[in-house]
Structure 1
Amino acid sequence: MKKNRPIRWSNWSGSVRCHPEAVVYPASVGEVAEIVRHARDQGKQVRIAGRGHSFTPLVQTEHILLSLDSLQGLLEVDEEGQTATLWAGTQLKQAGKLLHQEGWAQENMGDINVQSLAGAISTGTHGTGAQLGSLSTQVEELTMVTASGEIIRCSKQERPQLFRAACLSLGTLGVITQIKLRVLPAYRLHYASRRCRLSELLQRLEEWKKYNRHFEFYWFPYTETVQAKWINVTDLPSGGKKWWKAWNQVVLENGLYWLLSEGVRLLPGLSGPVSRLSARAVPVSEEVGESHRMFATPRWVRFNEMEYAVPAEAMASVLEEIRFFIQREQIQVHFPIECRFVQKDDLWLSPAYDRDSAYIAVHMYKGMPYDKYFTGVEQIFRRYGGRPHWGKLHYLTAEELGDLYPKWNDFREIRAEWDPDGVFLTPYLQKLLGGGKREAVQV
């Protein structure tokens, strides 16, 4: 077990920083259990760090930060049961490669693949697909180290109540060490991107959502332009304009977009012109490739983000209200608004709990003020019963969250049962979840 004392830990966007007294890198489940038992005995908190792609202070601690970086890799594939067991610290990108080498693939992924597997499921990371759930719904079994240092397993058959809470738990029920996923035989996807008008998209929204395995779109503020993306399973051989995709992703979507974003940060009045310029640069392209390669897009331009899940049927109405709000308040934003769909599930803290959902995400370039934009958009989300993505910024209190999640109190009860001493709680999480055994403080 390695240990060091860094000056600080920060998340990807730089919005969350902390000074833990120690960062530990266990290399086995036994070492994880030892760390947790020691922390409990010393009255310390343990938080689990993935790749830092959450924008909320879920990991922030002054006590012990536990990294799963040394617990990565594919452990087992059950071909008959169509499941694969991986170490919880495995990056999604690496998981895709390892599964593909064995002839398998995940059902769905998001558009960022650098997160750890445990971090992705613990915060409700999702892709898009009206008939597909979040990454958490792919989980068949979890191996965890509890607050007492006990190593346990849970699934739909074994400890089912704990399982429905642990599949999306914000890291408050234990340290997830191994994850068994439901997988599919490896498959290829056909990806298509094109520009269209927002009015056309809204008219055909239900059709495109229903008849495509994956459908998502990006609306550019201060324009009538949308980038629509369709992704479907195909038997066609891999191919396409790979040179154009590389040029677009590296040079246009990252390099040039960073320069434009810096210009907007210095001169916020350029937000509208830059958004219109970006809309004109939307790629019209097609490509076929292995599934694990087709989902993700490099994201090097840093930003802060808010994302909410609203009822799927409310997508068009919510988007129209956001459009009106941006124009009325002249919000200085040039990042497009990202819109995706997720099937309902039965996980207690899932934003898609018992409700087919449309996820709508708003972004602001790093270094630019976002409070007015995000609070205004959040008011719109809330009018439609929106639930926040746990890894994205929001301003809700424990009481307000409790009104949105039918199983909120069930989750709090099971969390208190499995971690009565608050080993996995921090002041932020105590405030978010409504307290714990240790006294809650304002953050």
Structure 2
Amino acid sequence: MRRSELFKHVFAAYRARLASSATGAGILRTESTSCAAQDVLRGQLYRFLPSSNPGTLGFPRGISSCATAKPDSSKRLISAVRLGTAHSSNLPPLFGNSWRSVASLPPVGSLPNSIRYSLYGLLLLTCAVGTYYGTPWSRTQEDESITSKEEETVTNWSNTHEAHPRYYHHPETLYDLERIVKLGHVTTRTIRPTGSGLSPNGLGFSNEGMVNMALMDKVLVVDATKKQITVQAGARIDQVVEALKPHGLTLENYASIKEQQVGGFIQVGAHGTGAAIPPGDERVVKMKVVTPTRGTIELSEESDPELFHLARCGLGTLGIVAEVTLQCVPAHKLVEQTLVSNMKEVRKNHKKWLQQNRHLRYMWIPYTDVVVVIQSNPLLEGQEPPTEKEKDDAGKIKSMMDVYNDMVRKRGKGSTGTVYQEAMTFPAMRDRVLAFAPLDPEHVKRVNKAEATYWRRNTGYRVGWSHEILSFDCGGQQWVSEVCFPAGTVDEPDMSDIKFMEELLELIRKRNIPAPGPIEQRWTSSSRSSMSPASDPSPDRLFSWVGIIMYLPTEDPAQRQAITESFFDYRGAVQKNLWDPYGAYEHWAKVEVRDINKEEAEWSRERLKKRFPVDSFVKAQIEIDPRGIFTNELIETLFPKYRHVQTQ
């Protein structure tokens, strides 16, 4: 029911009851009755909604109070409603000083019973209306500026997960966000925070309620002296980069893409690469979080170190991150070198490459002996960037075009020679070629060999600002599973990362898995965030991150389903053979609980307890969110104690 309709019902009931007596009829004959009664109700509502204005409460806009128009009848009604109270100091400020002195008015007991009970009824109706509007639910539900219509469809970037939230909120300000969190707490409705929808596992999705932070994207402060930036959580990484440029600053590291929102970037433990560089959450200096039980709190190393370290990588369960302060570094250019190596050479040079390069990335191509090695280091002052002969773009991609054209001739699909103009980028071309037979191991092997040839023709150098060099094209829609595991220290790598890759590639060969390339391998140092996959108190610890993929190059539902099933078989084989021996744990944005049975869920929970302070994490969840409004299926599966407590 809309506000205006609700007030019509209230006034109609009030007037009907009041008109049943002569005294009441006399009151109704005064011109100010409706005005006075409106002020009574308005006063009750303003107690609960101090930020509202007359227009939002169903009254004519431009009228702040009509009490001063007919003070006598208005005072008479207010006196009665307050049940004989001699002073009205508790009334909201909008009523003005003319309402302060009512001592001379007759107490309710001196009024006829019919009038007294009419006014009792009005008071009850007023309280009911006040209670209705006192909960943030109705107000937020009707506020189209932050809540969309019901039953929207939300999908992640790869279109592998979707949600149909009944309530989808779009806060623009901290105040909006606080109202939404209060709404969820009062109504016990789920409100999972979500950002750009890039997480492969749809971590922020819920079919009940979601909060999209995209409109809270302001850059608040850049402190050039401290080399810090404070932004709202919905700000994208590329926005942060642009805001830092005038100050000669940049972020220390980047994940593969810059469309991520800062809130999601830190909450899932996103990372770039560099043996001496931690994941992004470690560079959070402080953060402002909106919670159901503690309101809006600011967390830092000084204010509450335990909760701060839990909440930095909190999976959106310890409140909704509203603002983040990040430590930055001076802006700098990088020289990137791309070379093609093999397993033997990697074993020989791996330790040296880890220690000598600020950023190091390997791309392993299954069914070949090719390892693409990408090294990036700062361009030193006065250093001349390396130059090389410009290469022909068509020559770089010729190997993949040859496979495409051959498949066209064999299958009679498409037109030969047009793929380059249509696809434009190599990853898009690879998708086009894989689409002919994405689950045929022989076809995938041929595509991988063409990719190896592409990289041999694409070796060399390039120079650019760090944010330009460190981002790269991940390819099209895909299933992905990325794990993180310890690999010694920066000074003493233990080579377990290379042994992991040897076993993984051999597993693919033995099982004839249609595994496309590349399998990306990166490194970071540790994070002090308790729930980070790279969590460790020692800053010298080295962690390796390895991601397996299967692309989804088609829109055909049956083919996508077949690829999905094949990928989960692939992931299951890696999980069974490699996770425990290497202490590998999945990236939080890539943990999947699809079709998980009871035994598998229990196994996953027991593994998490061995690696993370799950008891402390769940305890903090219960204290901050006792009604479980920040949960979803994935969170409930991994942390069932949280689910059990919040349903009590």
- Give TM-score scaled by structure 2 length: 0.65
SS in 2 for 1:370: helix
TM-superposed deviation, 1:238? 7.7
In structure 2, C-alpha distance between the alignment counterparts of 1:217 and 1:46, rounded to whole Å: 39
Counterpart CA distance in 2 for 1:437 and 1:146 is: 18
Answer with 248-257 or 52-61: which moved more. 248-257
Could you tell me which of 146, 150, 154 is aligned with 1:2? Answer: 146
Q: Which residue of 2 aligns with 1:315?
A: 497
Greater share of strand = 1
Is 2:294–2:624's contact at 8 Å kept on the other side of the alignment? Answer: no
8 Å CA contact retained: 2:293, 2:623: no
Tell me what 2:509 maps to. 327
Of all paired residues, the percent bearing the same amino acid is 24
| Match for residue 387 of structure 1 among 574, 578, 585 | 585
Match of 2:351 among 199, 206, 209: 206
Q: Distance in 2 between matches of 1:219 and 1:421?
A: 46
**Change over 3 Å in CA distance of 1:320–1:147 after alignment to 2:** same
Tell me if the contact between 2:441 and 2:512 (Cα under 8 Å) persists in the aligned partners: no
User: Partner letter of residue 326 of structure 2?
Assistant: L
Match of 2:263 among 118, 137, 146: 118
- What is the correspondence of 1:29-68 to structure 2 with a 5 Å cutoff? 29-68=174-213
* Aligned AA (2:453): R
Q: Is 2:530 aligned against 1:353?
A: no
In structure 2, C-alpha distance between the alignment counterparts of 1:436 and 1:89, rounded to whole Å: 27
Aligned length: 440
Gaps of 5+ in 2: 1-144, 398-422, 488-493, 553-559, 594-602
> 1:4-403 alignment to 2 at 5 Å?
4-5=148-149, 7-148=152-293, 150-235=295-380, 236=383, 251-265=424-438, 267-282=440-455, 283-312=458-487, 313=494, 314-354=496-536, 355-366=541-552, 367=560, 368=563, 369-379=566-576, 380-394=578-592, 397-403=604-610
* Matches of 2:210 and 2:433, distance apart in 1: 36
Deviation per CA, 1:228-284: give whole Å up to 9, x if none.
Answer: 000111135789789979988973433311212212327453011111110110121
Q: Alignment partner of 2:435: what SS?
A: helix
Q: 1:13 to 1:74 in 2, by over 3 A?
A: same
- Bigger RCO of structures 1 and 2 (CA < 8 A, at least 6 apart): 1
Give the stretch that moved more between structures: 105-114 or 232-241: 232-241
Following TM superposition, by how much is the alpha carbon of 1:353 offset from its aligned partner in structure 2, in angstroms?
Answer: 1.1
Larger radius of gyration: 2
Distance 2:226 2:180 in 1: 34
Please tell me whether the aligned partners of residues 219 and 243 of structure 2 are also in contact (alpha carbons under 8 angstroms).
Answer: yes
For the Cα contact (< 8 Å) 2:190–2:631, is it kept in 1?
Answer: yes
Q: What is the one-letter code of the residue matched to 1:389?
A: H
Distance 1:303 1:209, change over 3 A: same
TM-score by length of 1: 0.94
Calculate the aligned-residue CA RMSD, in Å. 2.3
Note if 1:417 corresponds to 2:623.
yes
Give the whole-Å Cα distance in 1 for the aligned partners of 2:645 and 2:262. Answer: 31
Q: 1:374 to 1:82 in 2, by over 3 A?
A: same
Task: Report the Cα distance in structure 2 between the residues aligned to 1:152 and 1:267, rounded to whole angstroms.
Answer: 53
**Following the alignment from structure 2 to structure 1, what is the Cα–Cα distance between the partners of residues 439 and 567?**
15
